[in-house]
Structure formats: C-alpha cells, structure tokens
Amino acid sequence: MARQDYMTIGVPKSTQDVFREFIDVKGVTVKDALSDMMDIYMMATDIDLYTELKSKKINVEEAKNMILDRNDTVSKNVSLFMKLGVSTTASGEKIDGMKTIELYKQHCDSNGYTWYSTNSLKTGMNEKKATLYNRMAESGHLKIYFAINCKKAGINNNIAYEADVKKIVSYSTPTKAPCMDDEYPEKWKGIKNNIWIKIANLKKSNESADDFVVVSTGNNLRDVIRKGQYIFGYIKKSTKVNQESNNTDK
C-alpha cells in the first residue's frame, strides 16, 4: 500500500544520477527540490488554476503572498537581454546599436517610458513564458539589459544600458505597436515587430556580461553575444556572482 503524502516518480536512471549530483552540489534536499519543481510546473502551466487550488488548502492571503514571493525569487535571478546591432528605421535608415539606444533613451527620458520592439524571436515569445514574465514585470522586479559592441564608446560586446520592464506584448507575426505612435521613437513609427516591451528608467548600466549566463544553456553571456548581431533572450547572474554576493551579505 502506498504511503500517504508520498509520491513515486519514474524517470530514467541518467536523469536521476544527474539530479542527485545537482542537488548535492547545490546543497538542497530531494524533498525541497521536488516540491519546488512541482510548484513551478503548475505555475508555468496554469497559474490561475494553481492559485485557486492552493487557496482551498491554505489561507487565501497566504496563497497570494506565496505567489508573490515565488515571483520575487524568480525575478531576482532572471532578466531579459538584447544585443543591439544595426537596426533599420521605418524609413529604411540604418542605425548602429549605440545610436539606437540613445534614441530610445531620449524618448524614455522625455516621455517617462518607451516601447522597445524586436523580431529576434521569429515566432514571438512563448505564451506561457510571456505570462510569467509579465507577472514579474507587474511586481516591479523584471529588468532588461542591452548589450552593444562599439569601439568608439569603448564597449566590447558588453552590457551598456539597462531598464525596468513594465509590460511585454508578443505576437506570432510582426505587428504594429500595441500603443499610440507617440509612445515610442518617431524613427520607428509604424514599424512591425513581434515582441514589444514597455520599459522605463532606461539608463547606463554598471553590470558586466561576464557576470551573467544564459538561462537555457548556462553559457557565459559575453561569449554568446560575441556570436550574433541580434540576440534576445533570458539571462541570470552566474552562480559564482551569486555566491560572492551572498558572502558579502553575511
């Protein structure tokens, strides 16, 4: 007879071996890791259903706070990034990465916010991922980092600017801005892109690409952005940087 409150999960032995070694290195228990994994899976699949079911088991306010805490945990580790290369304006003019970010900063400073757009993901952002990142943005913790390669400015494939993400709108095909024309730089007026990101507080960044890794692969961000003109994706601080930060806080 199965023991109450226990669950048997069948996975390939190779996955078990990697998982056990992984949690040993990270210093967490199997119980905690699997509990987090199940919560994250349900949140990513249907966060509304998850919240509803969870609230039936515990106090409703406790459930809401738990969701907010989870979002805060994710947002502290994950950000968006974009490498800016040569972009094309609505009139067909070619503009380098430095000029592009300067135009967006000017508009952001005068308007209080601006909408940045890209076609770097040809079919847009995954719907579930867009929902998750929008929840993070709504909580006020999601950032986007802009990297450029500009010898004149002394920036060699590195992060140059950062901004707070306020909202993400993603389409499967290039689409006009989900806002009024005066809410983004005039040079791109009428342009169609499949990812539109509302940003605020666009400013120069003191962060280094060397301190980040790509979420999906764990590859160093500096190495990745050297390889492409346009790169859009998801990054987090490297384990080494987080460990150094934790040691400093102690």
Predicted confidence (pLDDT) per residue in 162-209, tens digit: 999 999 999 999 999 999 999 999 999 999 999 999 999 999 999 999
pLDDT band at 216 (very low <50, low <70, confident <90, very high): confident
Question: Is 215 a member of any domain?
Answer: yes
Higher-confidence position of 2 and 31: 31
**Residue 65 is assigned to a structural domain of this protein:** no
Q: Tell me if 2 is assigned to some domain.
A: no
Residues 218 and 134 in one domain: yes
Residues 175 and 89 in one domain: yes
User: Residue 232: inside a domain, yes or no?
Assistant: yes
Same domain, 240 and 153: yes
Dihedral angle, C-alpha 95, 149, 102, 241, nearest 10 °: 150
pLDDT at 1: 46
Q: What pLDDT score does 245 carry?
A: 52
Give the pLDDT of residue 58: 54
127 and 172 together in one domain: yes
Handedness of CA 146, 128, 88, 176 (dihedral sign): negative
Instruction: Please say if the pLDDT value at position 30 is more than 50.
Output: yes
Q: Is the pLDDT of residue 29 over 90?
A: no
- On whether both 18 and 133 belong to a single domain, the answer is no
Show contacts of 123-128: CB within 8 Å, 24+ apart.
123/172, 123/194, 124/170, 124/171, 124/172, 124/173, 124/194, 124/195, 125/168, 125/170, 125/195, 127/170, 128/44, 128/45
Q: Are 177 and 208 found together in one domain?
A: yes
Residues 140 and 236 in one domain: yes
The answer on 230 and 135 residing in a single domain is yes
Closest CA to 54 of 140, 141, 138, 46: 46
Contacts of residue 193, defined as CB under 8 A and 6 or more positions apart, other chains included, come to 117, 118, 119, 174, 175
User: What pLDDT sits at residue 72?
Assistant: 44
CATH code of the domain in which 179 resides: 3.10.590
Q: pLDDT at position 20, please?
A: 78
- Co-location of 48 and 99 in the same domain: no
Instruction: Look up the domain containing 42 and give its range.
Output: 13-57
Do residues 88 and 155 both lie within one domain? Answer: yes
Residue 202: Cβ-neighbour burial (10 angstroms; 0-12, 13-18, 19+): buried
**Predicted local confidence at residue 75, as pLDDT:** 46
Q: What whole-number percentage of the chain has pLDDT above 90?
A: 40
Same domain, 50 and 166: no
3-class SS of residue 7: coil
User: Could you tell me if residue 71 is inside a domain?
Assistant: no
Per-residue pLDDT tens digits for 78-127: 899 999 988 899 999 999 999 999 999 999 999 999 999 998 887 888 88
The pLDDT, as a whole number, for residue 244 is 53
Residue 72 lies in a domain: no
pLDDT at 132 over 70: yes
Higher-confidence position of 227 and 180: 180
Q: Is residue 130 situated within a structural domain? A: yes
The domain total for the chain is: 2
> Quick check: is 3 in a domain?
no
Same domain, 120 and 238: yes
